[in-house]
Amino acid sequence: MELWYTEKQTDNFGITAKIKETLVTEKTEFQDLAIIDTEEFGRMLTLDGMVMTTVKDEFVYHEMVAHPALFTHPNPEHVLVVGGGDGGVIREVMKHPKVKKAVLVDIDGKVITYSKQFLPEIAGELDNPRVEVIVNDGYMHIHDHKNTYDVIMVDSTEPVGPAVELFTKGFYQGIYDALKEEGIFVAQTDNPWFKADLIRTVNRDVREIFPVVRNYIANIPTYPSGLWTFTMGSKKHDPLQVDETQIPELDTKYYSPRLHKAAFVLPKFVEDLVK
């Protein structure tokens, strides 16, 4: 008997992946969590029936959340990751020697626990002494930490369930206030094929708060449409003004110094969404 995981990415379209083994299924306090071992993408974490990460393609998302902002800020010493309990973004942040401390705040401790157990290649750096892991509401955390962080990364689920408040203007204002004077934030902002309205709304809101707003993209095969957008809001520094020749070649598989600016060049229909 063959078992397949099928995710409806929209009402009318989805992906399907052959399963070797289901490792975890649990209704946590906040969401339905599953870890499935798939033939094509290896172990896969899903929340509320949506792929969060897979061992085969996780590097794209995690590198592209972390490095564009960290190589735009001249001295990113204090970093906050909101969400991201699987630890993938933290792993990338730890590749930056300038980072003195990274704080991870995920609302769902079960994501952290199961990721450490079943996705050690992703979650391994959560035990790095430069990392502090907090199980709490990210929205509350930023409102309790004014003028604290150099870079804030929002690694949320889609705006359903516990992540709804992470797509509000109040949250972006809170992030602005939690950032120091040269601060930068970045958020995953879904895909332009099925969620054009979301991207438009987020951009409008972020532009009302941050003087510099830029959008970039990456290809993630297991995410809806395969094309993912990220929105960066910055108080001062512009990622497009970075001298790429000064970016070191990290141990990455997607991001590179050459890609730093190119990732911000959007297909025309995406440009039109964020004008």
DSSP state, residue 130:
T
User: Cα 74–261–242 angle (5° rounding)?
Assistant: 25
Q: Which residue do the tokens 């995710």 mark?
A: 7
DSSP state, residue 76:
-
Sign of the Cα pseudo-torsion (116, 122, 123, 128, in order): positive
155 labelled catalytic: yes
Min CB(148)–a copy of itself separation in Å:
33
Contact flag: residue 95 with a copy of itself (CB under 8 A):
no
Q: Which residue do the tokens 């590749």 mark?
A: 95
CA-to-CA distance for 264 and 230, rounded, in angstroms?
A: 9
What residues numbered 10-29 form the site for a copy of itself, per CB under 8 A? 10-18
Among 21, 22, 26, 40, binds a copy of itself (CB under 8 A): 40
Contact flag: residue 219 with a copy of itself (CB under 8 A):
yes
Report the residue number, 8 or 204, with the smaller CB distance to a copy of itself. 8
CA-to-CA distance for 255 and 220, rounded, in angstroms?
A: 13
CA-to-CA distance for 215 and 96, rounded, in angstroms?
A: 22
Q: Which residue of the set 57, 108, 150, 155 is catalytic?
A: 155
Name the segment binding a copy of itself (CB under 8 A); options: 52-60, 95-103, 146-154, 180-188: 52-60
233 is in an annotated binding site: no
User: What residue ranges bind a copy of itself (CB under 8 A)?
Assistant: 6, 10-18, 38-41, 56-57, 60, 193, 217-221, 225-227, 252-256, 258-259, 261-262, 265-269, 271
